[in-house]
């Protein structure tokens, strides 16, 4: 029996298959996912599960180095933004205007994870990263590149 939080087989396999630079998009119930083969549909009914619940589970088992949301989430739905901001601790949250986000992420993600969320701008893009503390162990004599210096000292919460 699996020990981790994620019991959904497709989501667990998706996270395990992510490579450095791959994107996963956690979406609200209405996001137009272009290809069913890349869809992990967790939606049961309106607002079950929520974006926050799904994001929390994914973050417990996923190393990311970028997070992008819509500018409209930050400016027009500050409650959701503050909840997402409280969960994202590996990097700053980046924003894109809604139209650009929808254009950029229509086909970019390796996987789309659909929630039951009925919340405007409830979409979060995560870019798979390098677990710098594990890859750049200083006791191996590796010189840490400047762009990983901050990440190499990252400590998991809890």
Backbone conformation region of residue 86, classed left if phi is above 0, alpha if psi is from -120 to 50, else beta? alpha
Q: Is residue 144 part of a domain?
A: yes
Tell me the pLDDT tens digit for each residue of 6-32: 999 999 999 999 999 999 999 999 999
Give me the number of domains the chain comprises: 1
Q: Which residues are catalytic?
A: 20
Q: Is residue 106 part of a domain?
A: yes
pLDDT band at 125 (very low <50, low <70, confident <90, very high): very high
pLDDT band at 76 (very low <50, low <70, confident <90, very high): very high
Mean local confidence (pLDDT), 85-100: 96
List the CATH number of the domain containing 74: 3.40.1650.10
Structural domain span for residue 95: 9-152
Q: Is residue 108 part of a domain?
A: yes
Q: Is residue 4 part of a domain?
A: no
Q: Is residue 1 part of a domain?
A: no
Q: Is residue 43 part of a domain?
A: yes
Contacts (Cβ under 8 Å, ≥6 apart) of 74 = 81, 93, 95
**Nearest alpha-carbon partner for 148 in 82, 65, 28, 57:** 65
């Amino acid at each position: 029996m699996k020990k981790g939080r994620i019991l959904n087989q497709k989501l667990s396999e998706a996270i395990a298959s992510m490579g450095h630079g791959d994107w996963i998009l956690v979406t609200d119930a209405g996001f137009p996912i272009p290809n069913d083969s890349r869809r992990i549909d967790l939606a049961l009914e309106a607002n079950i599960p929520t974006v926050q619940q799904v994001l929390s589970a994914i973050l417990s088992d996923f190393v990311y180095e970028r997070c992008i949301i819509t500018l409209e989430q930050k400016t027009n739905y500050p409650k959701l933004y503050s909840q997402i901001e409280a969960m994202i601790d590996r990097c700053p949250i980046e924003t894109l205007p809604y139209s650009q986000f929808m254009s950029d992420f229509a086909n970019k993600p390796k996987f789309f994870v659909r929630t039951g969320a009925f919340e405007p701008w409830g979409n979060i893009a995560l870019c798979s990263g390098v677990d710098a503390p594990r890859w750049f162990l200083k006791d191996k004599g590796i010189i840490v590149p400047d762009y990983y210096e901050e990440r190499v000292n990252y400590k998991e919460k809890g």
